[in-house]
C-alpha cells in the first residue's frame, strides 16, 4: 500500500467521495488529485473545488472539466447509431458515461504523474468494472484503489462516524438516513436503485422521479418535433442546428415536459446478481425512436438486420464496461460504416409518455414509392418473379417433406 505516491480520484464533492478523499490521504499517505466532471448531471461543480481545497488539495491538482459535448458526441451518439438497448429495455445511461470518466482520469494521471486512480463505486455494482476496465485498457500499469472493496467502513454508521471524525460536513439528508435511493445522473439519464426499490414487487413512488413529470401531469396537448439527422446523428431540432450536447439537453427538456422515458426494470448485472433499477431517459427515448425511423427509410434491409443481430452483443459490451476494448471498436467500425447515408428528418409526436413517429423523409431514401404501391406500378416490379422466388426458397423444404420429415 505504501508505494502509492499520487492518486487521481473521481470526486463528486459529495459525502461519500469526500470520505474517500480523506481515507486515501490517511491510508496511503499520498497526494490526492481530484477530478470532477460535468457530464450533465445537473449539479454545481464549484463547491467540489472549495471542498477539495479544505482537504489540502493544491489548486493545480483540482480538475473540474465540462465534458458534456464530448460525452454526447463521442459516446452517446455512437452508441445510439446501433439503436442500443440492454436486455430489451435499458438505454445504458450510466454505462456510457463511465468510459469517459475513466479516460479523462487516465489523461490527468499522465499529466500530473500519478501512479494510481480511485473511484467511489461499490464492490457489488457494474460501475467498478466499467471504471477499472477502462483504466486498465488505457493505462495497463496503473494502480487502482477501490475504497469500497478495501476499507472497513461497511455500514452507513461507520462511514458517518469517519466523516464526523474527519470534520466533513454532513448535511441533514445524510443524518436522517441518507438518500432514499442510490442515484446517478448525466445528460442521458438519471437512475434510481436501492432501498424501497429492492423489492421488485414494490411499485416505485411517484415522488422518486425527478426529470419527468408524470404522464398524468403532462400537457393535455401533443407536441410535434422535427429531428434532423446526418450520418445517423441528430444535428438539428425543429429546423435549428444544434451541437450534440444542445440536442440532448433540448430533448430532455421536451421529453421531461411530456413525461417521456420512465422505466422500471430488473436487470442482470455483470457481477452476477439481478438488480432493480428505475430510469428516466427522456431525450434518449425520443432519439431511439427517431433513429429507428430515419434508418427505416435509409438503411438497406440486410444491413439493418445485421445491426439488429449484433446490437444485443454491442449493448452487453457497453453495459459490462468494455467500451475501450478492441471488440467494441471493431463493432463500431461496422456500425459507423452503415451510417453514411442515414440522413434526413423525422417528425415525432410527444404526448403523455408516448413518442410516436408520424412522418419521415430523406434525400437518401430507399423507399421507392413506384415499387411499393398497391396501385399499378407500370412494370417497375414484375409480380411473376415472385413465383420463382418462392419456388426456389421452398425447394429445400419440399425435398425435406418428401423425405418424410415431420
Least gap, CB of 400 to its own copies (angstroms): 6
C-alpha cell at 371: 415499387
- Judged by CB under 8 A, the residue of 5, 61, 136, 180 near its own copies is 136
Does 183 bind its own copies (CB under 8 A)? Our answer is no
Q: Which of 38, 127, 233, 341 is catalytic?
A: 127
Does 353 bind its own copies (CB under 8 A)? Our answer is yes
**Residue 296, annotated ligand binder?**
no
- Judged by CB under 8 A, the residue of 341, 342, 343, 350 near its own copies is 341
How deeply is 357 buried, as exposed, middle or buried, from its count of CB atoms within 10 A (0-12, 13-18, 19+)?
middle
> How far apart, in whole angstroms, are the C-alpha atoms of residue 132 and residue 118?
9
Least gap, CB of 337 to its own copies (angstroms): 4
**Residue 373, annotated ligand binder?**
no
Least gap, CB of 85 to its own copies (angstroms): 9
Identify whether 98 is a catalytic site residue. Answer: yes
Does 175 bind its own copies (CB under 8 A)? Our answer is no
- Judged by CB under 8 A, the residue of 14, 180, 194, 236 near its own copies is 194
Q: Which of 115, 182, 226, 269 is catalytic?
A: 182
The whole-angstrom distance between residue 400's C-alpha and the CA centroid of its chain comes to: 47
Identify whether 68 is a catalytic site residue. Answer: no
DSSP 350: E
Considering only the stretches 10-18, 19-27, 149-157, 240-248, report the one whose residues sit in contact with its own copies under the rule CB under 8 A: 149-157
Question: In the block, which residue shows the cell 413518442?
Answer: 355
Residues 243-272 that bind its own copies (CB under 8 A): 262, 264-268, 271-272
In the stretch 80-109, what mask flags binding to its own copies with x, by CB under 8 A? ---x---xxx--------------------
> 93: alpha, beta or left, given left = phi > 0 and alpha = psi -120 to 50?
alpha
SS3 21: helix
C-alpha cell at 17: 467521495
Q: How does strand 116-118 pair with strand 6-10?
A: parallel
CB 229 within 8 A of CB 345: yes
- Judged by CB under 8 A, the residue of 34, 84, 128, 212 near its own copies is 128
Q: Which of 49, 98, 104, 262 is catalytic?
A: 98
List C-alpha distances in Å: 363 to 235, 292, 370: 16, 17, 16
Least gap, CB of 64 to its own copies (angstroms): 28
Identify whether 195 is a catalytic site residue. Answer: no
> How far apart, in whole angstroms, are the C-alpha atoms of residue 31 and residue 392?
72
Question: In the block, which residue shows the cell 484503489?
Answer: 145
Q: Which residues contact 10 (CB under 8 A, 6 or more apart)?
A: 17, 35, 37, 101, 105, 117, 118, 119, 120, 131
Closest CB to its own copies among residues 60, 216? 216
Does 149 bind its own copies (CB under 8 A)? Our answer is yes
Residues 283-322 that bind its own copies (CB under 8 A): 292-293, 296-297, 300-306, 308-309, 311-313, 316, 322
C-alpha cell at 128: 467498478
- Judged by CB under 8 A, the residue of 44, 152, 154, 175 near its own copies is 154
Does 115 bind its own copies (CB under 8 A)? Our answer is no
Least gap, CB of 232 to its own copies (angstroms): 13
Q: Which residues contact 257 (CB under 8 A, 6 or more apart)?
A: 213, 218, 219, 223
**Residue 403, annotated ligand binder?**
no
> How far apart, in whole angstroms, are the C-alpha atoms of residue 347 and residue 345?
7
> How far apart, in whole angstroms, are the C-alpha atoms of residue 13 and residue 24?
15
Considering only the stretches 19-27, 57-65, 112-120, 336-344, report the one whose residues sit in contact with its own copies under the rule CB under 8 A: 336-344
Residues 369-398 that bind its own copies (CB under 8 A): 369, 371-376, 381-398
**Residue 359, annotated ligand binder?**
no
Residues 197-236 that bind its own copies (CB under 8 A): 198-204, 215-216, 220, 222
Identify whether 16 is a catalytic site residue. Answer: yes
> Considering only CA atoms, which of 112, 126, 118 is closest in space to residue 143?
118
Residue 213: count of CB within 10 angstroms of its CB:
18
Please identify every residue annotated as catalytic. 16, 98, 127, 182
Amino acid at each position: 500500500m505504501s508505494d502509492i505516491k499520487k492518486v487521481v480520484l473521481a470526486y463528486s464533492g459529495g459525502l461519500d467521495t469526500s470520505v474517500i478523499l480523506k481515507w486515501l490521504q490517511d491510508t496511503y499517505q499520498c497526494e490526492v488529485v481530484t477530478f470532477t466532471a460535468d457530464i450533465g448531471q445537473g449539479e454545481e461543480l464549484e463547491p467540489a473545488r472549495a471542498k477539495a481545497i479544505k482537504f489540502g488539495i493544491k489548486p493545480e491538482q483540482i480538475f473540474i472539466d465540462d465534458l458534456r459535448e464530448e460525452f454526447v458526441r463521442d459516446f452517446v451518439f455512437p452508441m445510439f447509431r446501433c439503436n442500443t438497448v440492454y436486455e430489451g429495455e435499458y438505454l445504458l445511461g450510466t454505462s456510457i458515461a463511465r468510459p469517459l470518466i475513466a479516460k479523462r482520469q487516465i489523461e490527468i494521471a499522465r499529466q500530473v504523474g500519478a501512479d494510481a486512480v480511485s473511484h467511489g463505486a461499490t464492490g457489488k455494482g457494474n460501475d467498478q468494472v466499467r471504471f477499472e476496465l477502462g483504466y486498465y485498457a488505457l493505462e495497463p500499469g496503473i494502480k487502482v484503489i477501490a475504497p469500497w472493496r478495501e476499507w472497513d467502513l461497511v455500514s452507513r454508521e461507520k462511514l458517518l462516524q469517519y466523516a464526523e471524525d474527519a470534520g466533513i460536513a454532513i448535511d441533514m439528508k445524510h443524518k436522517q438516513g441518507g438518500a432514499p435511493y442510490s442515484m446517478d445522473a448525466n445528460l442521458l439519464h438519471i437512475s434510481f436503485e436501492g432501498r424501497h426499490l429492492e423489492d421488485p414487487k414494490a411499485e416505485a413512488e411517484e415522488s422518486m422521479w425527478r426529470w419527468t413529470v408524470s404522464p398524468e401531469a403532462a400537457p393535455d396537448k401533443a407536441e410535434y418535433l422535427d429531428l434532423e439527422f446526418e450520418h445517423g446523428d441528430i444535428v438539428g431540432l425543429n429546423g435549428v442546428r444544434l451541437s450534440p450536447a444542445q440536442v440532448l439537453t433540448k430533448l430532455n427538456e421536451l421529453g421531461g415536459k411530456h413525461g417521456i422515458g420512465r422505466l422500471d426494470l430488473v436487470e442482470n448485472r455483470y457481477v452476477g446478481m439481478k438488480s432493480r433499477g428505475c430510469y428516466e431517459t427522456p431525450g434518449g427515448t425520443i432519439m431511439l425512436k427517431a433513429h429507428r425511423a430515419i434508418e427505416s427509410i435509409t438503411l438497406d434491409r440486410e444491413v439493418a438486420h445485421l445491426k439488429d443481430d449484433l446490437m444485443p452483443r454491442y449493448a452487453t459490451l457497453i453495459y459490462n464496461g468494455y467500451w475501450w476494448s478492441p471488440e467494441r471498436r471493431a463493432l463500431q467500425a461496422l456500425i459507423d460504416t452503415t451510417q453514411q447515408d442515414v440522413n434526413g428528418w423525422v417528425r415525432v409526436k410527444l404526448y403523455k409518455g408516448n413518442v410516436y413517429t408520424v412522418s419521415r423523409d430523406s434525400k437518401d431514401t430507399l423507399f421507392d414509392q413506384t415499387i411499393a404501391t398497391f396501385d399499378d406500378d407500370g412494370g417497375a416490379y414484375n409480380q411473376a418473379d415472385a413465383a420463382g422466388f418462392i419456388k426456389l426458397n421452398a425447394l429445400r423444404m419440399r425435398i425435406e417433406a418428401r423425405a418424410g420429415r415431420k
